[in-house]
Chain A
Amino acid sequence: MPAAITADAVLQLLHGEAIVESDEPLAADTDLFACGLDSLALMRLLVAAEQAFGRRLPPAEISRARCATARALADWLNAQPVEVPAS
């Protein structure tokens, strides 16, 4: 069993890649769309998350709810089989 991806790890990725900018610190349940997550930022987030966590997010499954917060993204990532070793 691979270790579960935590909301904190997703937050770290969001910060590290500067996906969204926010005046207040991002929390696991902060609404990312309200912090300016648009389609350009979302594409970069998906690519970065797949790369960092070694999971593949099926495009057909995407929904606003699945990307709205770091926690939701972590849950969605955890529901995918590990595909390649995480980088």
Chain B
Amino acid sequence: MTQADVIVAGGGSAGIAAALTAARAGAHTLLIERGNRPGGMGSLARVHTFCGLFHPDVSRPWAWLNPGIPEEIGRHMMERTGQTAPDLMGRVYVLRQSPELFASLAAELCARESSLNCHHGVAWTGLLRTETGWELDLEEAGKRRRVACRALIDTTGDATGARLMNPAWLQPRPARLYRPACIASLTSVGGRRDDSWHLSMAAMLAHAVRQGELPNAALGTAFRNATVNAEMFVTVDLDAGGTAWDPLDAQHHAAVLQEGRAIIQSLWQWLRANHPDFADCPPPSHAEELGVREGSCYSGDHLLGGDDLASCRRFPDEVALAGWPMEKREDARGPKFRYFDRPEPAGIPAGCLRRQDAPGLFFAGRCLSADHEALASVRVMGTCLATGQAAGRMASAWVAQSP
């Protein structure tokens, strides 16, 4: 049986940061990812901006919020995409990112670490507790095997460990999960896409929906510029059955992805026919994964709440900083923001990443211990990189301390 010091399950933003951190601290680390490449939502679902990387005070020049991996990845992304500063969007700084570059950058950084092994195309399907740590069942191309570790970091976004071992470690499911979305890239888009471009696009789409030329669901569409000039991303927020939406129901999940792609496809056809900037636009390149904003979360020693964030609360044992406003996307009304009371960061304490009764288990990213409202802030990729890094530190320290 393969034996590692630390296993990181889930290779999204949080998992990449956790694995790099643990490996750099000297722990023999294994990163397990179901998809064919790293990046999670930031590559497989084509989420294309890094939020939460910067200090929330936009009256001052932009500054990195969490040192270490979040800054390292942010700097690499800026360099490789030719950006010299983040974009100022209203009351926040954001960095445009390329999903392909994010995946290749993560793979490169991981390959440089001699004590880190990455396995893609491998699903984590079972969990056992042993005297010295944990054993995980893995499935790869129909074959099962078991690996053991002393510390386990769950960065699957869905609290897989809790669901496999003890549902009592899960937080109760909120009445309504944040909406999922489908993203695609559009290339060879002409025109200068400034503020008035976006306004007139909104007016055209609203008009087309009113005329019955586009489905009602097209009202959930948002466009964003990519890091390359003639490329755009189109994101369609989906109702997905409202309160019935369950991202962990494979059939429901697949149906929503299909529905999202169909909306984007009809949107593309309509744009090609009606908008001069899209006359030469080839068919959309769809993300392979549905964008899931909320799955299930752990209930840890501390439950981070919306009020903790809004009041910029700090903790003696904080391990990362949050700075993104709570961006709640619950219904067709679009996002509702709850900003922090002051333009200052809030702390995320170590207790959000562990449970006393599960020693050697850590969790980070969008399945850490935060309530529904706080998750609307801490789920962004910049913050996931920071909490992943913190979990990597906690896990390697755990391994170093335990006999």
Contact = CB atoms under 8 A, between A and B. Distances in A.
A38 interface: yes
B222 A63 contact: no
A36 B91 CA distance: 11
B222 A39 contact: yes
B45 interface: no
B209 A36 contact: no
Contact of A50 (B204, B210, B222): B210
A47 B336 contact: no
Which one of B196, B200, B201, B207 has the highest number of Cβ atoms from chain A below 10 Å of its Cβ?
B207
Which one of A56, A59, A60 has the highest number of Cβ atoms from chain B below 10 Å of its Cβ?
A59
B357 interface: no
Contacts of B332: 44
A5 B310 CA distance: 39
A15 to B, nearest CB: 12
Contacts of A18: 333
A19 B195 CA distance: 20
B294 interface: no
| Chain A at the B interface: SS class | helix
Interface string B273-307: 00000000000000000000000000000000000
A40 B205 CA distance: 10
Interface residues of B, number: 26
15 contacts: A18-B333, A36-B336, A39-B199, A40-B237, A40-B333, A40-B334, A42-B206, A50-B210, A56-B210, A57-B207, A59-B200, A59-B203, A59-B207, A62-B199, A64-B196
B354 to A, nearest CB: 36
Contacts of B336: 21, 36
A59 B207 CA distance: 7
Interface in A29-87: 36, 38-44, 46-47, 50-51, 56-57, 59-60, 62-64, 67
B133 interface: no
B166 to A, nearest CB: 38
Nearest to A64: B199
A21 B206 CA distance: 21
Contacts of A62: 199-200, 202-203
B195 A40 contact: no
Contacts of A67: 199
Contact of A36 (B196, B205, B219, B337): B337
A79 B210 CA distance: 19
A62 B201 CA distance: 10
A65 to B, nearest CB: 10
Contact of B202 (A46, A50, A56): A46
Interface residues of A, number: 24
Interface in A5-28: 17-19, 21
B335 interface: yes
Contacts of B196: 63-64
B333 A57 contact: no
Given A43-B205, A47-B219, 9 more contacts: A39-B198, A39-B223, A40-B237, A47-B210, A51-B210, A59-B206, A60-B200, A64-B195, A64-B199
A50 B206 CA distance: 10
A44 B203 contact: no
Contacts of B237: 40
Nearest to B223: A39
B220 interface: yes
A41 B336 CA distance: 10
A43 B219 contact: yes
A21 B204 CA distance: 24
* 5 A-B pairs closest in CB distance: A40-B334, A59-B203, A46-B206, A62-B203, A43-B206
Nearest to A62: B203
A46 B207 contact: yes
A44 B206 CA distance: 7
Contacts of B200: 59-60, 62
Given A40-B335, A47-B219, A50-B210, A57 B195 contact: no
A39 B199 CA distance: 7
Contacts of A57: 203, 207
Contacts of A39: 198-199, 201-202, 222-223
Contact of A59 (B204, B221, B222, B333): B204
